[in-house]
Structure 1
Amino acid sequence: MMPIRHPMRIGLLLALSIALLSCSPAPTLRIGSNPWPGYLALYHARDLGLFDGHPIRLVDFDNTEDVLRAFRNRAIDAAAVTLDEALHLAESGADLRIILVFSISHGADVVLARPGIDTPQQLRGRRLGVETNALGAYMLARLLEQAGLSSQDLTIVHVPLQEHEAAYRSGKVDAVITFDPQRSRLLAAGAREIFSSRALPGEVVDVLVVREETLRSHRTVLATLETAYFQALTQLQRDPQAAAGTLSRRIQIDSADLMAAWNLMELAEQPRQHILLGDGPGSLHHTMQRMQQVMQQAGLLSQPVLQSIRLGTAP
């Protein structure tokens, strides 16, 4: 005969199980980024101890292509990317949320060329280095469009971000689509700026994306992240020189060059976020609509993807 289980014992076991589950630690939020000056307020938050005691981990990558690959492979939970890169992620089938806007580039992303190449039109017949699976592809499409060139008019050379400087200095390329810290180094080496994100107002926007499922599973941690980020951003903008002294080492750039890079972008403060992540005029949704059209025309997207991207953290 099977023994009769005592109802009180079963109740105690159930209560203990529930208590253990409720005490289990929150899942760690892994955030991947490349060395872009616009992301550094995240690292400032960590340096200030604002992540202490919270399951938040910043994961460094050498370039954006590695960030995108890690996100697709679920090695990270959140990715710091540009809007066009977010559209690429959505095309791979993920339902995404843009939950934070880091920066809007106003000249921080550039095309640098050798002396003697003074206009985009003079790239005809030259070798242009670019990260072809990241923002560089979008910058290239817009550069060609505005210069009246086609991709057949020049030689496109795939060069990962961390190799931009070496590719230019070695003569592998005549020009490169890049950003700091490579921008500052190449300008110091004599390169000339012939195109930049100034010609693309409001288009080069850096954001933090997560999957919808991550928004649900990490909602409390994401709220902590947002609060800490804006506290750190306020500190950074209050005393950028002090922040640059520490943060410049992370991306191997002189602190003065880092502050100059920050001056070429808008680091979006919290009130601006409400506009960018809202539904009204100035929303990123309208920017993404235009960007999707450009990317489809340039062959960078095979189909519309905006139905897979939502803005903000509201349910």
Structure 2
Amino acid sequence: NNIKIKLVRMDYMPSIEAFTTPSVDACVMTNMDCLTIPVAGGISCSAIIVGDYSNGNDALIVRNNLTIPQLKGKKVNLVQFSVSHYMLSRALDMNGMTDDDVKIINVSDSDIGPAFIANKDQEAVVTWNPLVMEIMKNPGVKKIFDSSQIPGEILDLMVVKTKVLQANPELGKALAGAWFEVMDIMSSRTDKGKGALEEMAKAGGSSLIEYQNQLKTTAMFYKASDAVTYTNSEEIKTNMRRVRNFCSKYELLGAGVKADDLGIKFSDGTVIGNQNKILFIYDAVYMQGASK
């Protein structure tokens, strides 16, 4: 369709930071990071592809056979205000506790795995794959909660700046078309499929086996029609409310910004929050196009 797309491979956080500048039009990120970075910065974002959700990729791991109630008063290592922090919050909530019941220790994502493995005094850590798999290889550790217990809450999305999408709807079509073409290849039991997985594993700095194990703890929407069904569900609204409320509690939407100060619009047109300040839009049109 005469549309030229320049793909740039970047590390995760730098890619989202680049998306907040005028030079980047689209980026893959989680629903929570979309809220706390571009949306919090006032950029209206359209999620045109719901790619997958974490279904065990994020985990709370302990030593000394600790249970969640036994974490009371203990230090928990994680990347503060990240998806890990959100998941810990949910795990505590499901056990009648709050974040105030534990001591959160903020650790960088590059140090968190090696530090926990090396320091046997650390009793609890929340992180994501492939670090979870690395930590679980060590004796005396136990996984006591993971993201499969909060399905659909940690989503991976293809996000496009709303004004760019409105001016260039062909961009949405091209991205969704290419995305689901790759999903087709990935999920095919062919040499081409294996080649694609090998390429992805290499790009992510892991072996093919490790990458395939990560896919097992990721609920992938390989078919566009399944992604559309999920995007149109009531479940996505409930989950977005939860994520938004967490972000608001920690002022991750901006200083003093309440959950209802900004609007999130869903594919059926319903809005939660401020109808006059919609900054996060789930747009299923392009996935629908790709499913035909």
TM-score (norm 2): 0.77
Query: Aligned equivalents of 2:69 and 2:195: distance in 1?
Result: 41
Matching of residues 203-214 of structure 1 within 5 Å: 203-214=153-164
Q: Structure 1 regions of 5+ residues with no counterpart? A: 1-24, 27-53
Aligned residues of 1:71 and 1:79 also touching (Cα < 8 A): yes
User: Could you tell me how far apart the structure 2 residues matched to 1:231 and 1:260 are?
Assistant: 22
Q: Which of 161, 171, 192 is matched with 2:109 structurally?
A: 161
The equivalent of 2:125 in structure 1 is 176
* Shift, 1:99, TM fit: 0.8
Using the alignment, how far apart are the partners of 2:8 and 2:234 within structure 1? Answer: 30
Give the Cα–Cα distance (whole angstroms) in 1 for the partners of residues 239 and 30 of structure 2. 12
Residue matched to 1:112 = 61
Tell me whether 172-181 or 97-106 shows the greater mean CA deviation. 172-181
Distance 1:147 1:300, change over 3 A: farther
2 CA distance for matches of 1:224 and 1:207?
16
> 2:152·2:236 contact (CA, 8 Å) conserved in 1?
no
1:249 equivalent among 178, 202, 212:
202
Give the TM-score, by structure 1 length. Answer: 0.72
- Supply the AA of the counterpart residue of 1:90: V
1:143 is matched with: 91
Radius of gyration: which is bigger? 1
Query: Quick check: 2:86–2:243 contact (8 Å CA) kept in 1?
Result: no
Instruction: Work out whether 1:234 is the aligned partner of 2:184.
Output: yes
What CA distance in whole angstroms lies between the structure 2 residues aligned with 1:251 and 1:163? 18
Give the root-mean-square deviation of aligned CA atoms. 2.7
Higher mean alpha-carbon deviation, 130-139 vs 263-272, is at: 130-139
User: Deviation string for 1:39-71 (max 9, x for gaps)?
Assistant: xxxxxxxxxxxxxxx42313321x44x444333
Count of residues in Structure 1 that have an aligned counterpart in Structure 2? 259
Q: Work out the CA distance in 1 between the residues paired with 2:81 and 2:15.
A: 11
Amino acid at match of 1:82: T
State which drifts further: 175-184 or 227-236.
175-184
Q: Deviation per CA, 1:92-116: give whole Å up to 9, x if none.
A: 32211111111112212111223x1
- Give the counterpart letter for 1:273 in structure 2: A
Gaps of 5+ in 2: 265-277, 287-292
- Is residue 104–residue 202 contact of structure 1 (8 Å, CA) maintained in 2? yes
Do the aligned residues in 2 keep the contact of 1:111 with 1:178 (CA within 8 Å)? yes
Equivalent residue letter for 1:274: V
Note if 1:310 corresponds to 2:281. Answer: yes
State the alpha-carbon separation in 1 of the partners of residues 24 and 62 from structure 2. 35
**1:181·1:251 contact (CA, 8 Å) conserved in 2?**
no
**Structure 2 contact 231–284 (Cα < 8 Å) conserved:** no
Distance 2:165 2:93 in 1: 37
Match of 1:101 in 2: 50
Which of 250, 259, 264 is the equivalent residue of 2:212? Answer: 259
The offset of 1:189, in angstroms, is: 2.5
| In 1: Cα distance, 2:248 partner to 2:143 partner | 27
User: How far apart in 2 are the matches of 1:81 and 1:101?
Assistant: 10
1:236 shift after superposition: 0.5
- Percent identical pairs in the alignment equals 19
Query: What's the CA shift for 1:295?
Result: 4.4
